[in-house]
Chain A
Amino acid sequence: MTQSFATMRAGTGGTVSSRADHAPRPYWNPYLVGVLLGLVLLATYLVTGRGLGATAGFAAVASFVAGLFSPEHVAANAVHAKYWNGSAPLANWTLVLLGGAFVGALLSGAQGRRIAFTVERGPRITDGQRLALAFAGGFVAAFGAKIAKGCTSGQALTGGAMLNVGSLVFMLAVFAAAYGLAYFVRKEWL
Chain B
Amino acid sequence: MATSLTFYANRAYDKDSHKGLILTGIFLTTLFLMNQLDWMKLFKVKQATLKTEEKLGELFWEIFKDNGEEVSDTLVIHQHQQYRECYVR
**Is B truly associated with A?**
no
* B→A interface (CB under 8 Å): none
